[in-house]
Structure 1
Amino acid sequence: MKAIKLLIIPALASTMIMTGCASRKPATQVDGTTTPTAATNVNTTGLSDDAALAAKNLAGASSKGVTNENRAFLAQRVVHFDYDSTDLSPNDYQTLQAHAQFLKANMGSKVALTGHTDERGTREYNMALGERRAKAVLNYLVSYGVNPTQLEAVSYGKEMPVNPGHDEAAWKENRRVEINYEAVPPLLK
């Protein structure tokens, strides 16, 4: 039974990621530049424009830690959370494992993990919740062997929403941790 779960969960996660929604925030590419995209644009591969662009940037790379299996997961740079929660979703495990594998193989890469919340709650509470979310991702990456000196947890609380709406759909988009690479080995530029 446990072996079946280990096979089914990654398959479901892959399916969910490949059919996920596009981001409304400019994509932070592997080389650190940004490319604005519309939230409704989805390319023919089924990936959002942001994810497809990041995957394209990795496609020509022959760097350590970039395999065909984890290219699509490396293109995902956002982990979402439930309301008032710091628990990671099973859908995000493969994405975080791919980033952990890449970071372990590329010790020169550094990542800022930026925690965000929706608009509900006080500023102080949301700053603390954003930090706990960023640290949850940081701790997961460290548990997979990433050197803690490569990671920085930062909280923006409710100050930087990607969706300015005031409903559950907007709040769901805003409850997130973004994985932002600061320095990437030259092979990926």
Structure 2
Amino acid sequence: MNKRFATVILLASATTLAACAKKAPEELPPPPLSTTAPATGPATAPAPTGPTVGSQAHFEDAVNGQNVIFFDTDRFNIDSVDAAALQAQAQYLSRYPQIRITVEGHADERGTREYNLALGERRANSAKNYLVSIGVNADRISTVSYGKERPVALASTPEAWAQNRRAVSVVIN
């Protein structure tokens, strides 16, 4: 009877243990995350946004659109508003010493072609001389006069004439 009793207990134990066995899950969990550090290559700088340094757009952004100065009729003197604009340009040029500019002199449509070319030249030289007086190397600035040949406003009104009496600083490559 001992053998029978031992067999019954053994079978009961096996059945009990089988009932307690864990079932496999229906879905496996994701694999563990790697704990090793990723290989690091050379750090790359983020791609620059905005205009390229040395471009006309970059220059205009840096001087807050003050690359144009305006003059009174038959005048080529630098007033306080013009001086502030030219100082902003000089700061830009001191920050980027490799950049050169051309100052374009313009006039309105009134007067002869020759007179307006001479007046445009005086306006361009006036802006250049002011920049040189505040520290910009003269070799970095060239001038050209377009007289009345390149108007930005085409009407024959005092407002249009005022827009055309100007000196424009342009980055050259």
Q: What TM-score do the two structures reach when normalised by structure 2?
A: 0.65
Q: Percent sequence identity over matched residues?
A: 42
What SS class does the counterpart of residue 144 from structure 2 fall into?
Answer: strand
Structure 1 residue 79 corresponds to structure 2 residue 69: yes
Is the counterpart of residue 171 in structure 1 residue 134 in structure 2? no
Q: Name structure 1 gaps, 5 residues minimum.
A: 1-28, 34-50, 59-70, 184-189
How big is the shift at 1:88? 1.2
Checking the alignment, whether the CA contact within 8 Å between 1:100 and 1:146 is kept in structure 2 is yes
Which of 115, 118, 128 is the matching residue for 1:128? 118
Q: Whose radius of gyration is greater, 1 or 2?
A: 2
1:104 is displaced (CA, Å) by 2.3
User: Deviating runs (4+, > 3 A) in structure 1?
Assistant: none
Give the partner amino acid of 2:73.
Y
In the alignment, what sits opposite 1:142?
A: 132
Q: Report how many aligned residue pairs link the two structures.
A: 121
Please give the residue correspondences for 1:145-156 in structure 2 after superposition, counting only pairs within 5 Å: 145-156=135-146
Displacement of 1:156: 0.1
Letter in 2 for 1:31: S
User: Is 1:105 paired with 2:95?
Assistant: yes
Q: Give ranges in structure 2 of 5+ residues lacking alignment.
A: 1-52
- Selected match of 1:31 from 55, 62, 67: 55
Contact in 2 for aligned 1:114/1:177 (Cα 8 Å): yes
The Cα RMSD (Å) is 2.1
- 8 A contact 2:54–2:99 mirrored in 1: no
What residue is the counterpart of 1:162 in the other structure?
A: 152
* Structure-2 change in CA distance of 1:98 and 1:116 (3 Å): same
Aligned match of 1:41: none
**SS of the residue aligned with 2:127?**
helix
CA distance in 1 between partners of 2:106 and 2:148 (Å): 6
Decide whether aligned partners of structure 1 residues 179 and 168 sit closer, same or farther in structure 2, where only a CA change above 3 A counts: same
Query: What's the secondary structure of 1:179's corresponding residue?
Result: strand
